[in-house]
Chains A and B, each alone.
Chain A
Amino acid sequence: MAGTSTTGASRNGHSGDGERVRGALGADAEAEERGGGPSLPERFLRAIGGQVARRIPEANLDDRDPDYIRETLPGLWLLSSLYFRGEVRGLGNIPEKGPVLLVGNHSGGNLTVDTGVFMLAYSAYFGVERELYTLAHNLVVSFPGLGFLKRWGVVAASRENARKTLEEGNALLVYPGGDYEVHRPVWERNVVDFDGRKGWIRTALEHDVPIVPVVAIGGQETSLFLSRGETLAKLLMLDRAFRLKVLPISIAPPWGINVGDFLGHIPLPAKITVEALPPIHVREAFGDDPDLDEVYDHVTRLMQETLDALAAERRFPVIG
């Protein structure tokens, strides 16, 4: 499963592809207001970024194909069972019916294998009839060769797609940490880090849906992640042109030193364990006008405690 991540959040009311690509539920669309006019190279890069964004086709919820999911489950089951020794707990905590926002921690670089393990277990448990959508950066959905992700219900991260998904009574999986969390260095592998993004809480409140935290461990052991490469991304002005705030550096087969991870890598066979926690009804727990910081702290604390417990079960890296 490749790089499913939600980045950014559109709070400034702009519309269009560029905005859509920035994503829906993160929150860093706290899009910095930059002072002064851009330089010539910067304008050039922004123009290229805009062109790329405009060429990306809009994601469609109808792209999800339950028959395709069902037919590919055995292959994914083989990969999950034999290579990653996947284990998913607590699926009974996810409501059987109705809209629900599944909030996960994100690991594994551009190959987020824990998402695959979870989607397999979810589809087997509830059946393909209980629709699950996953928000991802539109570049991921549109990347050549990754069209199959759309058929699995991976859609571009946008407020509109989140709204449609939840209004139709489906489950929606989001990764608030997005590209920031997924490329964290390996020594931070057991840390939940949403980078302060709170768009997902606003989405849950807006649609009045329960939040089910989904905690995964093992994904950040699938290669040796060294750095997010934020400085490098800034130096190359990738953040301004493509909204890419990271240019991750890792050691991963078959490349050795892997910068950017644009072509993916062969993940190490780390044991993946995922646990879904009991649902949180935000207004029931925090009142009619919940404080976002309080909700954020509560959910991330619960997730961190679960991740710590899962980490305590592991005796060796990768092996589990």
Chain B
Amino acid sequence: MRVGASIQVSAPADAVWAFIADPARYLHFMAGITRWEVESEEPTGCGARYRMLMRVRSAEIGGLVEVVEWDAPSDMAWTSVTGIDQRGRWRLRERRFGRTDVEFRLSYGVAGSGLLGWAAERVAAPTVTANLRRTLQQLKRQVEHEQLRAAAAARREAKQRAAAGGD
């Protein structure tokens, strides 16, 4: 089953990438995620491994995932090593006026689980999709807030410089 969500963030792709490339931030902006731990020596980049879990109704579902594509600042993809079968992707595309389209895709399932597996994937889909949407909304808020703080800091600095020059 493949689900996805997208959003436009008022920030350049590099700023968004700084969030999604940092595993320490995942618990802060990923909705429904109860665990996101680094399991490899290298915390980021191709080959980085994370143990992740997402609460979906009566169970926390996930497993060990490995990053298989790392193309900063536009694409990151991971695939499952243990746990349920899954493949996820962040897809960032910078647009005009310093905006970025962010797409979050996730496909999941359990190979060999038959008709009940097929049904379970569909029953889980609304919860998973809602989590992806909330994730993107939280990511957008946090990235834009970070942008705003950076701009405010720059303005403060300019004011201080101007005041120092006036003296």
A296 contacts partner chain B, Cβ-Cβ < 8 Å: no
Query: Given that A78-B119, A81-B123 are known contacts, is A71 also in contact with B113, CB under 8 Å in the complex?
Result: yes
B63 contacts partner chain A, Cβ-Cβ < 8 Å: yes
Q: Is the CB of A71 within 8 A of B59?
A: no
Neighbouring B residues of A71 by C-beta, 8 Å:
110-114, 117
Neighbouring A residues of B124 by C-beta, 8 Å:
77
Query: Given that A67-B112, A71-B113, A74-B113 are known contacts, is A88 also in contact with B59, CB under 8 Å in the complex?
Result: yes
Q: Is the CB of A78 within 8 A of B123?
A: yes
What's the Cα separation between A78 and B119 when bound, in Å?
Answer: 8
Option from B59, B83, B120 in Cβ contact (under 8 Å) with A121 = B59
Interface segment among A45-53, A122-130, A152-160: the answer is: A122-130
What's the Cα separation between A75 and B117 when bound, in Å?
Answer: 6
Q: Could you write out 7 A-B pairs with CB less than 8 Å apart?
A: A71-B111, A73-B113, A78-B116, A78-B123, A81-B59, A86-B58, A120-B58
Contact bitstring A69-110, B, C-beta under 8 A = 1, else 0 = 011111101101110111110010000000000000000000
Q: Is the CB of A75 within 8 A of B113?
A: yes
What's the Cα separation between A127 and B60 when bound, in Å?
Answer: 10
Most chain B CB neighbours (cut-off 10 Å) among A78, A84, A86: A78
Neighbouring B residues of A73 by C-beta, 8 Å:
84, 110, 113
CB-CB nearest in chain B for A274: B58
Q: Is the CB of A70 within 8 A of B59?
A: no
Q: Is the CB of A70 within 8 A of B61?
A: no
**Beta-carbon contacts under 8 Å, A19-72 to B:** 67, 70-72
Dominant secondary structure at the A interface: helix
Q: Which residues of B contact A (CB under 8 A)?
A: 53, 56-64, 82-84, 110-114, 116-117, 119-121, 123-124
Q: Is the CB of A85 within 8 A of B60?
A: no
Q: 4 shortest A-B CB distances, which residue pairs?
A: A74-B120, A75-B116, A86-B58, A81-B57
Neighbouring B residues of A252 by C-beta, 8 Å:
none
What's the Cα separation between A80 and B113 when bound, in Å?
Answer: 16
A277 contacts partner chain B, Cβ-Cβ < 8 Å: no
Neighbouring B residues of A135 by C-beta, 8 Å:
none
Q: Is the CB of B59 within 8 A of A125?
A: yes
Option from B60, B64, B82, B110 in Cβ contact (under 8 Å) with A74 = B110
A-B contact count (CB 8 A): 74
Neighbouring A residues of B58 by C-beta, 8 Å:
77, 80-81, 84-88, 117, 120-121
Q: Is the CB of A121 within 8 A of B60?
A: yes
Give me 9 other A-B pairs in contact (C-beta within 8 A), A117-B58, A121-B59, A124-B83 excluded: A71-B110, A72-B113, A73-B110, A77-B124, A81-B57, A91-B60, A120-B59, A121-B58, A124-B61
Q: Is the CB of A124 within 8 A of B60?
A: yes
Closest chain B CB from A217 CB (angstroms): 14
What's the Cα separation between A87 and B60 when bound, in Å?
Answer: 10
What's the Cα separation between A205 and B125 when bound, in Å?
Answer: 45
Neighbouring B residues of A72 by C-beta, 8 Å:
113, 116
Q: Is the CB of A74 within 8 A of B83?
A: no
Closest chain A CB from B120 CB (angstroms): 4
Q: Is the CB of B59 within 8 A of A124?
A: yes
CB-CB nearest in chain A for B64: A127
What's the Cα separation between A78 and B125 when bound, in Å?
Answer: 13
What's the Cα separation between A214 and B114 when bound, in Å?
Answer: 31
Neighbouring A residues of B119 by C-beta, 8 Å:
74, 78
Closest chain A CB from B58 CB (angstroms): 4
Query: Given that A70-B110, A121-B58, A121-B60 are known contacts, is A127 also in contact with B82, CB under 8 Å in the complex?
Result: yes
Closest chain A CB from B144 CB (angstroms): 33
What's the Cα separation between A4 and B61 when bound, in Å?
Answer: 25
Q: Is the CB of A77 within 8 A of B60?
A: no
Query: Given that A71-B112, A73-B110, A81-B123 are known contacts, is A125 also in contact with B60, CB under 8 Å in the complex?
Result: yes
Neighbouring A residues of B56 by C-beta, 8 Å:
81
Neighbouring A residues of B111 by C-beta, 8 Å:
71
CB-CB nearest in chain B for A121: B59
